Amino acid sequence: MVTASTGTAAVLPAATTEAGAAGAPAFRHGVASGDPLPDGVVLWTRVTPVPGAVPGSGAGPDLDVTWEIARDAGFAMPVAEGGTTATAATDHTVKADVRGLYPDTVYWFRFTAGGVPSPTGRTRTAPAADARPGSLRLGVVSCSNYEAGHFAAYRHLAARTDLQAVLHLGDYIYEYGTGQYPADPVRRQEPAHEIVTLADYRVRHGHYRADPDLLALHAAHPLIAIWDDHETADNSWRDGAGNHTPGIEGEWSARRAAAVQAYFEWMPVRPAVEGSTYRRLRFGRLADLHLLDLRSFRDQQVSGAAVDSPDRSITGSTQMDWLTSGLAASDTRWHLIGNSVMISPVAFGSVPAFLLGPIAACLGVPAGGFALSTDQWDGYTADRRRLLSHLRDRGIDNTIFLTGDIHMHWANDVPLNAATYPLSPSVAVEFVVTSVTADNLDDILGVPPQTVSAVAVAAVRAANPHVRWVDMDSHGYAVLDVTEERAQMDFFVLSDRADPGAHSSRARSYRTLSGTQRVTRVDEPIR
């Protein structure tokens, strides 16, 4: 029996193929799906019930909405249907957490309101818990700043038919006002001011979700998403953020609550523990995916010797216990960790002084005295040591950290003790995906890509032998393919973030073989 956790079963009205009359309901923000399970998936849409009921307005009447799922794009083979109500209380967004579906199966879905059908979306359930699928293939993205460029990376991923899902590792939206970051926008966002209130966050989400490439991505693949800082404010932590001034922008708790509410209204994800995004998905016996929230429970960023304090945490004790116990209990071949900030230790002190400021800007940290990014796990070394020691002590192999945030592509071994690597073991690997659009080194310096950055790359690699590759200039995305024998990441770069028609090319590919905890470069892309 197919069920949904929102709404009740309903008989769908006949769907029309023509646009509704003026003033009729509209689906201006498309459809989406996410968080695939073996028997279910979250479906999402937003309805504009009347023309004035735009995101963040709080206006517009309640409206009954029905959904349907079928095995074919023409809906000749329906398998499930249901209904719910779109209201101003949730910004006229609706979700259906549908259950009772078949595992590892492609479905098509759509919504209907007032006799008007939505666009059609495609989704896919996860393999059965005890299945042994031949592979798992995920698109991987992060850091999509609307004003910094066009979302061509989303368009290229939407065009692929070989993905089970797309993993978004954070900074799905940015909170800045127009011209704050970047200073010279490629295109203009709404609202123009920095977002602080619930209405602001809803408007910003709605503006992003009208982008044609993002519409296409959500219609093509289920999304698996975690947040980083810009979904609320830059360099956020448990009780504040670097980009938040309480006396001017109100109390942090109110701003964060508004951002979190809008996020869960607009994103096709299931709220998990304490309104957080940490949760776990499973893809048969091949892989589990541990999704972290590294903003809601962390202590404030510090510098100097304080980063080593055993009393400071990036995860919070409850989430760390959840992660380590889940890893220890797992019976899958691979352990994927959706990780919003880089866990690999990296020293930047050997980088020439004139490049430290721009690199610090990429990382979102102050440039003064910059030697490492304390917003990353480098600023919370006790937690990193707890986690990596757990992997070593429990003999947990095949752990892959999948990371965003840093606006650069990286392929790293993750050593237990970086100071003595390679004599000390690597206990995991890390693949870091660059930004979809957000500024990286060449953008900040205003120089051609792959020129000045070569100096910084050479310095980083010389000081950090566990870093196998870093690209500080490119924008793009990645595709991860996991089999029993290996996990491979193909890194893609875009020709020009300012070009809505930008083409994509594979830059490099790295893989880790089962049981090795090391990354190596490979010439052949995923087939």
Write the Ramachandran bin of 440: left for phi over 0, alpha for psi from -120 to 50, otherwise beta: beta
Which DSSP string corresponds to 279-345?
EEEEETTTEEEEE---SSSPPPP--GGGGG-TT--SS-HHHHHHHHHHHHH--SSEEEEEESS--S-
CB-CB contact of 460 with 505 (8 Å): no
- C-alpha 293, offset from chain centre: 11
What pLDDT, in 10s, does the model give residues 40-78? 999 999 999 999 999 999 999 999 999 999 999 999 999
Which amino acid, residue 256?
Answer: R
Burial class (CB in 10 A: 0-12, 13-18, 19+), 10: middle
- Which positions of the chain have pLDDT values less than 70? 1-22, 273, 366-371
Write the Ramachandran bin of 171: left for phi over 0, alpha for psi from -120 to 50, otherwise beta: left
> Residue 141: its pLDDT value, please?
99
Neighbour count for residue 51 (Cβ, 10 Å) = 12
CB-CB contact of 158 with 392 (8 Å): no
As a whole number of angstroms, the distance between CA 287 and CA 398 comes to: 10
As a whole number of angstroms, the distance between CA 310 and CA 380 comes to: 8
Q: Residue 182: phi, psi to the nearest 5?
A: -80, 165
Q: Which residues, in sequence order, are CB contacts of 527 under 8 Å at separation 6+? A: none
> Residue 357: its pLDDT value, please?
86
CB-CB contact of 46 with 29 (8 Å): yes
Neighbour count for residue 21 (Cβ, 10 Å) = 9
Q: Which residues, in sequence order, are CB contacts of 483 under 8 Å at separation 6+? A: 134, 135, 286
As a whole number of angstroms, the distance between CA 297 and CA 97 comes to: 27
As a whole number of angstroms, the distance between CA 430 and CA 510 comes to: 10
The residue among 452, 459, 450, 344 whose CA lies nearest residue 406 is 344
CB-CB contact of 110 with 78 (8 Å): no
CB-CB contact of 112 with 66 (8 Å): yes
List residues bridging with 93 in a β-sheet.
46
Strand-strand pairing, 136-141 and 476-482:
antiparallel
As a whole number of angstroms, the distance between CA 344 and CA 80 comes to: 45
Q: Residue 10: phi, psi to the nearest 5?
A: -150, 155
Neighbour count for residue 443 (Cβ, 10 Å) = 23
CA atoms within 13 Å, Cβ hemisphere of 314: 30
Which amino acid, residue 52?
Answer: G
The residue among 49, 54, 126 whose CA lies nearest residue 86 is 49
Strand-strand pairing, 78-86 and 116-117:
unpaired
> Residue 8: its pLDDT value, please?
31
Q: Residue 304: phi, psi to the nearest 5?
A: 70, -150
Largest CA distance in the chain: 70
Which DSSP string corresponds to 340-366?
SS--S----TTS-HHHHHHHHHHHTS-
Which amino acid, residue 79?
Answer: V
> Residue 5: its pLDDT value, please?
45
